[in-house]
Structure 1
Amino acid sequence: MTRDVLRMLAEARPQELDPEAPVDEGTRRAELTRAMTAPPRSTRVEAVAPARRRVRPMWGLGLVGAAAAAALVVATTATGPGDPGTVAGPKTGGTPKGEARTPVTMNAQTVLLSAAAGADKEALTTGAYWHVLRTNRAHHQVGKGENRYMIVTTDTDEGWTPNKPGGKAWGRQQYLGAKPLTAKDVAAWQRAGSPSSFKIDFSTRGGTVKPANYEVAPGKARTSSSKLVNDDKVFWLGRNVTMKDLRDLPADPKRLKASLLRWYGGHSTETTSEPMKADDWLWAVTKGLITDMPVTPQVRAGAFRMLAQLKSIKAVGPVQDGAGRTGTALVLLERTKNYGTLEHRLIIDEARGRALGYDIVSLKPSGADAMPAGSLLSSSTIDEAGWTNVAPTKADAAGG
């Protein structure tokens, strides 16, 4: 939670790169955006951030996630392009866009058991690669005082994780540009001379890191690959795990809970110096299992049933994710030292038993750069998650 952005970026770089080597502005900007809009620890390996000894992708930043890195960040997301090679695992569609309704408190246990029933209906499928596509948007404050306005930056990232040991993990990221958020922000931007780029200072507990430059114009897509840790470690589930480990997970909720808690050490998913309750740790780990890990539908159903036994989880609905899809939010509160009280929202398609996205909302903000209470601090939608037989090639990587 207290790691600064520079450390995030250093850990996100490929192992084969010199950590002191210069990073081009486009790569740095994309890394910052993904790191800052990241939900709590996910589980997918990204080729742009090859696996380290502890396998963790760009957005895996603990329960508080990127919101702890800077209260400047707010994010929403939009749907990304499809994958013509997908052979299994339906797109995370959710209910189509429609007239927004006022969210109400729901019975979390009922919601989770309903999601479990939905997951149980999904057919078991497989393929050569597990493919996940996400779209992220981050809101940043620009300027000071009366001249302050908001901009929104957008990027997409997707990954292909091999089903068999010895394969390569592929990743593709693209920065899609920046623009003022609302009509009021457009007016302020125009008064500022309609700048074509924005310099953002990311606050940390230790000061201010070197600013990132966000351009209005989009960047090129970047495709790259990396070897798996020990040729078979692909995800993080309280520890580094293999595809076989995931296939061997029990679907029974009690056995699944016991299996996961074997790796609980009384501290957070990020650092041993930060105590974390077992239920909070279980939420952080299971969230990744539900959102983007290639477990069987039955194990995902078991995960929902396991979470249904946690009294700390609440439910609110209907809500919309960043892509405008309607779902139900599973809610967990977190009280932080430096950033106030945060509300973590795992948005799910209850009928299908699939995750749509993950939001973090500031309920009781604190800190110099804090957003107003009720602000969405970070969000990520899962546009696609499923098996495919098609992945990028060396030619794709050479072309960007």
Structure 2
Amino acid sequence: MTAYDNNEENDMNERGTLLDFPGADELAMAGQVEPLSEPALARVLTAVEAAVATEGVTGTAGSTGRVGLTAGGGTVTSIRGPSRRRRVLIGMLTTAAVAAGVVTYTHPGTTPSSTGGHSAASADTAAVFLDDISTVAATQSAATGKYWKNHTTIADTYISQSMQYYVVTNGKAATKGTRPDWQLGPKDLDWKGLEQLTTDPAKLLALLQTPPRPKSISPFDQAATLLSDSPAGPKLRAGLFKAMAGLKAVKLVGQVKDSTGRGGTAVEFAEAKSVGRVIVDPKTSAILEYTFTWTAGASKGKVSHYTVLSSGFTDKIG
């Protein structure tokens, strides 16, 4: 056996020892961990430090071991104690990382959770994800145009600044009259009203949480519609994602595919008789698909998909 082979064997043995802790399989299956957001990082560090204090993990000569996370998602540890204690600490770190949503929404292949009951950790993870997406949305380029175009799997739709609505199918344009205003809490917004709307997340959340009006759609649906079907600018989109994160019962589903096979990250909002789901492209913050599923009543089991292939401003129809 050469020196190289011996070193490789030692490395494999050490790797096997380090991966002998609860949660190792899930972490290995998750793949590379993306950089944490500041809120997620803070939660992980708090959980790990608490665990270290509780377990009393010590280093050489009785000194307390130190563990931390870098902004790039790596780990730094000065543990020099027995391997068993190292495994305990790594297990704590893994548990905290999973609880913070590090593995849940950043990796393709994550199995989506069901629409059943979820813990507070799941809700917290959804908030972290939506907060991260708001940052992505804020960095997108602002644009203008005479029409807002949505290229969907059904047709191409256009909304003018005067709220005239057009649909193009098979190359033929048809006027559909005036587009209904977008709803946001007590407000009904046309194109101009949308431009004048606050972008402050707290104020947007307050609007979404106002008592519902007759025939009003849910707060989640209101935010999802504005994000997927309106010419909302980068700052407003960022504010809406943050506001959505503040809604109760919003949960993170994880990595999924839309009806066309595109990968994205889904969040859901369950009501008494229905579940709304949006699939977001985490790289661009674009809404890939909005799904509405009836879970009770005469329409139970009925699912509708609104799949957006592309959207943006344009100066002409067709």
Decide: shared fold, TM above 0.5. yes
Q: In structure 1, which of residues 146, 159, 162 is the aligned counterpart of residue 160 of structure 2?
A: 162
Corresponding position of 1:294: 231
For this pair of structures, how many residues does the alignment match? 202
Corresponding position of 1:208: none
Corresponding position of 2:219: 282
Higher alpha-carbon deviation: 98-107 or 250-259: 98-107
- The answer to which structure has the higher helix fraction is 2
Where do 1:113-192 residues align within 5 Å? 113-135=131-153, 156-163=154-161, 165=162, 168-173=164-169
Corresponding position of 2:201: 253
Amino acid at match of 2:112: P
CA offsets per residue over residues 329-382 of structure 1, 9 Å max, x none?
11111223xxxxx332111112322211112346x6665x855xxxx7222211
- How far the C-alpha of 1:134 sits from its partner, in A, is 1.6
- How far the C-alpha of 1:129 sits from its partner, in A, is 0.7
In structure 2, relative to structure 1, the CA distance for the partners of 1:234 and 1:301 (3 Å cut) is: same
- Aligned-partner SS, 1:322: coil
After TM superposition, the runs of 4+ consecutive aligned structure 1 residues lying more than 6 A away are none
Amino acid at match of 2:309: D
Runs of at least 5 residues in structure 1 that lack an aligned partner in the other structure: 1-97, 136-155, 174-219, 271-280, 337-341, 393-400
- Aligned-partner SS, 1:328: strand
Corresponding position of 1:205: none
- How far the C-alpha of 1:227 sits from its partner, in A, is 4.5
- Aligned-partner SS, 1:335: coil
Structure with larger Rg: 2
- How far the C-alpha of 1:111 sits from its partner, in A, is 0.8
- How far the C-alpha of 1:103 sits from its partner, in A, is 2.3
Corresponding position of 2:257: 320
- How far the C-alpha of 1:261 sits from its partner, in A, is 5.4
- Considering only aligned residues, what root-mean-square deviation do their CA atoms show, in Å? 2.9
In structure 2, relative to structure 1, the CA distance for the partners of 1:313 and 1:225 (3 Å cut) is: same
CA offsets per residue over residues 41-95 of structure 1, 9 Å max, x none?
xxxxxxxxxxxxxxxxxxxxxxxxxxxxxxxxxxxxxxxxxxxxxxxxxxxxxxx
Corresponding position of 1:177: none
CA offsets per residue over residues 90-133 of structure 1, 9 Å max, x none?
xxxxxxxx985422585101110011011011011111110012
- How far the C-alpha of 1:284 sits from its partner, in A, is 2.1
8 Å CA contact retained: 1:161, 1:234: no
Q: Matches of 1:226 and 1:316 in 2, distance apart?
A: 36
8 Å CA contact retained: 2:205, 2:244: no
TM-score after normalising by structure 1: 0.45
Amino acid at match of 1:323: T
In structure 2, relative to structure 1, the CA distance for the partners of 1:314 and 1:260 (3 Å cut) is: closer
Runs of at least 5 residues in structure 2 that lack an aligned partner in the other structure: 1-106
Q: Matches of 2:300 and 2:219 in 1, distance apart?
A: 28
- How far the C-alpha of 1:328 sits from its partner, in A, is 1.2
TM-score after normalising by structure 2: 0.56
8 Å CA contact retained: 2:269, 2:277: yes
In structure 2, relative to structure 1, the CA distance for the partners of 1:312 and 1:261 (3 Å cut) is: closer
> Greater relative contact order: 1 or 2 (C-alpha under 8 angstroms, separation 6 or more)?
1
8 Å CA contact retained: 1:111, 1:350: no
Identity %: 25
8 Å CA contact retained: 2:264, 2:281: yes
